[in-house]
Structure 1
Amino acid sequence: MTRPVLRQVHTIGRRRAWVIWVVGLSVYVLAVFHRTSLGVAGLLAAERFDISAAQLSTFTVVQLAVYAAMQIPVGVLLDRFGSKRLMLAGLALMTGGQLWFAWAGSFEAGLAARVLLGAGDAMVFTSLLRLVAVWFRVKQAPFVTQLTGVVGQLGAIGAATPLAAALSTWGWTRSFASAASVGLVLTVALALLVKDSPYRGEAVERIKVRALARTLAEVWGNPGTRLGLWVHFTSQFGATVFTMLWGYPFLVRGEGLDPGTASLLLVVMTVTAMAFGPVVAAFTSRVPYRRSQLVLGIVCAIATVWAVVLLWPGRAPVWLLTVLVVVTAVGGPGSMVGFDLARTFHPSSRLGRATGVVNVGGFTASLVAIALIGIVLDRLAPGGPDTYTLEDFRLAMSVQFLFWGLGIVQLVRYRRKSLRYVEDVDPAALEALRRGDTLLPGISREPDA
């Protein structure tokens, strides 16, 4: 079938593109805030709902499970309906979910609210990455992608400090209801200012249901997709586990830090991720051939520092815990490399589906790791959070090494397969990749109409 001819009506990579990105980024910052809001409220939530560690982790596990399960359906809907509609739907779900959580008085009601939050959150990030892909130039896209992840972490800072202060001053209901109200303002900005594409004409691919299974199989069968997935899986989960739930209790109950110092370390973690984002972006845009090797180095560094902390005799000194959060934080920018790989190995008409598959990786690892940590803690300290010890946390946090080990093996494996795939499809593409191109002939360029 002949592809529709698109006519460019807006300049790519200029002022309008940045306005659209800023609005979309604001939605993503709010999504990160909602996603990580339980990090500093975890101990308070355990008291409010009178629940165990496993039940507390269930809040986050269910939220992430919904997020991960929706990534491929969201990718399909994104390629069909575009970013604006999905982000509006995501905002509505997140706002409703956070309002529900504000007034929830039982474990079951709180769990239902986290389901809505996970569903809404699932629609935001991949939609924003599609806007970046179509509104910015090829050389701009890696930097803007990293900048998206970096600035998005402001939401985690908001959850680590202002939310913690609000909870102590205003209480549970008013704090979470106030956070939910921000979504109403952003809905208006999104509706008025964001456009799906700089082109006039059919800007999204109208996928027929009968062809869906075939196109998804093709996306999954591309080894570059799976390389991106394992990049995301291996580098992202450590920071997510730490900021979303278990970092704060580990620092306070396990390492004996006061709540203020623990919150400050969470802020340091977020600021570090923001600082390293441009560094990773510069590397990936200049040396795309070595992207997955950079991630391997980051993951090995994270695992090494965690081993030192968990094997330290007695409680680790604050300087070592600072090194831990700084190194672990770099995994966040490292995980963004997975999306740059998706952009390299797929034309833009399939970018939503490919990005959705990649995004499954880190959040699947995160939800399983969070659940396992909660199970281990419940077995070791059935009396609840007040009975946690450093030894309990040492054993529980050690489950992360299972995920790093698996991820490293798969990273090496799919790097080799991806390079062979590029060479087989178009030998010129491999040379282009070595030269520093990430929009490859025969690989990620759309066929001529």
Structure 2
Amino acid sequence: MSAAASSRPPHGISVPGEPPGGRRAIAVWGLGVAVYFVAITYRTSLGVAGMDAAERFDINASALSTFSILQLLVYAGMQIPVGLLVDRWGTRKVLTLGVVLFTVGQFGFAFSSSYAAALACRALLGCGDAMTFISVLRLGSRWFPAKRGPLVAQIAALIGMAGNLVTTLVLARLLGAFGWTPTFAGSALGGVLVLVLMLLFLKDHPKGHEPPPATHTGRGYVRRQIARTWREPGTRMGMWVHFTTQFPAMVFLLLWGMPFLVEAQGLSRASAGELLTLVVLSNMAVGLVFGQVIARHHTARTPIALGTVAATATSWGVVLAWPGQAPTWLLVVLCVVLGACGPASMIGFDFARPANPPERQGTASGIVNMGGFTASMTTLLAVGVLLDLTGDNFRIAFASVFVLEAIGVVQILRLRGRAHQRERERVVASRVEAVHVPA
């Protein structure tokens, strides 16, 4: 994915003092990505354990969805504060705090015997998870030159999605073989490992490329930072793109995919797990394609985003309208299409980056990242409530997907003209400024 693609300077303009990249950069940045990988495995672990959680805590569909809703509520609410913290504290401190929080949350979830305790642990996990993605984006920009941005972002996203593979391929089998507590407690050891490696080796930036000292203090700065970032049409466009494209796959992988495939479509848990794995594999493959296309043709951003929304809505419409249980080939098509949702959501960052100066990048990324997780949280709740009200009618429950997609498409169409115009103005201004820079 090319979240960093638009952070490159205009063609022909070099940026002095850029970090050199190299093996040292790959090693340090790789540690940050490893943290993101572990966070993804913890975030999606409930997706293969939803039915086990319902039995363990004796809860209905609405209560089960509250696990993921609370986790995402905390995640979304933390995005702007995390963006500000990364700019002020640096990546190492924020990532360290994040690892501690999500590891304690995962470990506590393993031993929770009550619903309330388990909820608290998922909230703690969501708080730690919220500190990973923006930190990894920042780490890449500090260790690699801007021209490497697209490749760095693509690889980070691919490795992060591999964490989802661990959930669907490994964690699901471990849960069946060893049970709840050993599986979740054992997985928490991954957080301990990356924490030790981070404390030993992670650095915020290469020597000689230290950022200027932070001078931003006081509440006035926070208000101004958020207001100025939000006023940019590109920031809002990015948020709505993220909102509209990410949530269908997130809801499917995070919680409701397994129950839908097993209870509504009559598949075995093993077959359902394979289809969830297909979503992840499709995500990784499509991400490479979208990243390369957008890196070469920046104008393709909006068509790709809207095309993904249209394909998702069409696939869900056919599956839900199919009389009886959908055939396997149709479920395969649905899962392949859902795999495009994650890569399409990354386009949101490509709108926000050129709209904001470097000192507002963290805040802009936080606002964009809120979009998809807010939509996911809303849909998780809607599906759970509708399942309870309709006696587990998945057709009606998943129809809520179309409502949020429609809202998002309206906002994208409303903002796209202003966002594109503002971006063109910034590119022209950058080129004029570069021409007047003394040699």
Could you tell me which residue of structure 2 aligns to residue 75 of structure 1?
83
The Cα offsets for residues 40-90 of structure 1, whole Å up to 9 and x where unpaired, read as: 100000000001100000000000000000101111111111111111000
Specify the alignment match of 1:279 in structure 2.
289
Partner of 1:111: 119
Q: Which runs of 5 or more structure 2 residues have no equivalent in the other structure? A: 1-14
Query: Does structure 1 residue 89 correspond to structure 2 residue 59?
Result: no
Native 8 Å contact 2:107 2:188 kept in 1: yes
| Matched residue, 2:178 | 170
Check if 1:29 corresponds to 2:37. Answer: yes
What is the CA deviation profile of residues 280-318 of structure 1, one whole-angstrom value per residue up to 9, with x for unaligned ones?
Answer: 110111111221221111111111111111111111111
C-alpha distance 107-279 of structure 1, shift in aligned 2 (>3 A): same
The alpha carbon displacement at 1:196 in A equals 1.4
- Pairs within 5 Å for 1:123-272: 123-198=131-206, 199-203=208-212, 205-209=214-218, 210-272=220-282
Shift in Å, 1:24: 0.9
For the 8 Å contact 1:102–1:173, the answer to whether it is kept is yes
Deviation at 1:409, TM superposition (A): 1.2
Superposed CA RMSD in Å reads: 2.0
Q: In the comparison of the two structures, how many residue pairs are matched?
A: 420
Q: Equivalent residues in 2 for 1:24-63 (5 A)?
A: 24-63=32-71
- What letter is aligned with 1:49? F
Equivalences for residues 274-313 of structure 1 within 5 A: 274-313=284-323
Structure 1 residues 230 and 442: CA distance shift in structure 2, 3 A: farther
Given the alignment of the two structures, is residue 420 of structure 1 paired with residue 429 of structure 2, yes or no?
A: no
User: Does the 8 Å CA contact 1:238/1:400 hold for their aligned counterparts?
Assistant: yes
Corresponding residue SS for 1:105: coil
Give the 3 Å change call, closer, same or farther, for CA 303–263 of structure 1 in structure 2. Answer: same
User: Aligned AA for 2:141?
Assistant: A
Aligned partner of 1:404 in structure 2 is 405
Q: 2-side partners of 1:442 and 1:110: how far apart?
A: 56
Structure 1 stretch displaced more, 196-205 or 395-404: 196-205
CA distance in structure 2 between the aligned counterparts of 1:140 and 1:285, rounded to whole angstroms: 11
* Inter-partner Cα distance in structure 2 for 1:379 and 1:239: 23
Amino acid aligned to 2:133: F
Q: 1:427 to 1:118 in 2, by over 3 A?
A: closer
Q: For residues 59 and 338 of structure 1, what CA distance do their matches in structure 2 show? A: 27
Q: Secondary structure at 1:406's aligned position in 2?
A: helix
CA 203–182 in structure 1, closer or farther in 2 if over 3 Å, else same: farther
For the 8 Å contact 2:19–2:209, the answer to whether it is kept is no
Structure 1, unmatched stretches of 5+, are 1-5, 382-387, 430-439
Deviation string 1:1-31 (CA, Å, 9 cap, x unpaired) is xxxxx995x8423222211221111111111
> Shift of residue 426 of structure 1?
4.1
Q: Aligned equivalents of 2:313 and 2:366: distance in 1?
A: 26
Given that residues 197 and 203 in structure 1 are in contact (C-alpha distance below 8 angstroms), is that contact kept between their aligned partners in structure 2?
A: no
Does structure 1 residue 351 correspond to structure 2 residue 361?
Answer: yes
Residues 443 and 393 of structure 1: CA distance in aligned 2, closer, same or farther (over 3 Å): farther
Partners of 1:47 and 1:153 lie apart in 2 by 28
Q: What is the aligned partner in structure 1 of residue 9 from structure 2?
A: none
- Which of 307, 312, 334 aligns to 2:344? It is 334
Aligned counterparts of 2:22 and 2:356: Cα–Cα separation in 1: 24
What's the CA shift for 1:443? Answer: 11
Change (3 A) 1:369 1:441: farther
| Residue identity matched to 1:266 | L
Q: Secondary structure at the match of 1:316?
A: coil
Aligned to 2:7: none
Deviation at 1:276, TM superposition (A): 1.1
SS at match of 1:344: coil
- CA shift at 1:136, angstroms? 2.2
Do 2:31 and 2:197's aligned partners in 1 also have CA atoms closer than 8 Å?
yes
Asked if 2 retains the 8 angstrom alpha-carbon contact of 1:7 and 1:201, the reply is no
Equivalents in 2 of 1:367, 1:332: separation in Å? 16
Check 1:361–1:324 CA distance in 2 against 1; reply closer, same or farther (3 A cut): same
Deviations 1:99-142 (A, max 9, x none): 11000000000000001000000000010011122322323212
Shifted more, 199-208 versus 120-129: the winner is 199-208
Amino acid at match of 2:111: W
TM-score scaled to structure 1, two decimals?
0.90
Separation in structure 2 between the aligned mates of residue 363 and residue 63 of structure 1, nearest angstrom = 10
Is the Cα contact below 8 Å between 1:12 and 1:136 reproduced in 2? yes
Amino acid aligned to 2:168:
A
Cα distance change on mapping 1:442 and 1:341 into 2, 3 Å:
farther
Provide the rounded CA distance (Å) in 1 between the counterparts of 2:334 and 2:86. Answer: 37
Q: Is the 8 Å Cα contact of residues 236 and 334 (structure 1) preserved in structure 2?
A: yes
What is the CA-CA distance between 1:421 and the residue it aligns to? 1.9
Identity %: 44
For 1:428, give the aligned amino acid: V
Q: What amino acid is aligned across from residue 101 of structure 2 in structure 1? A: L
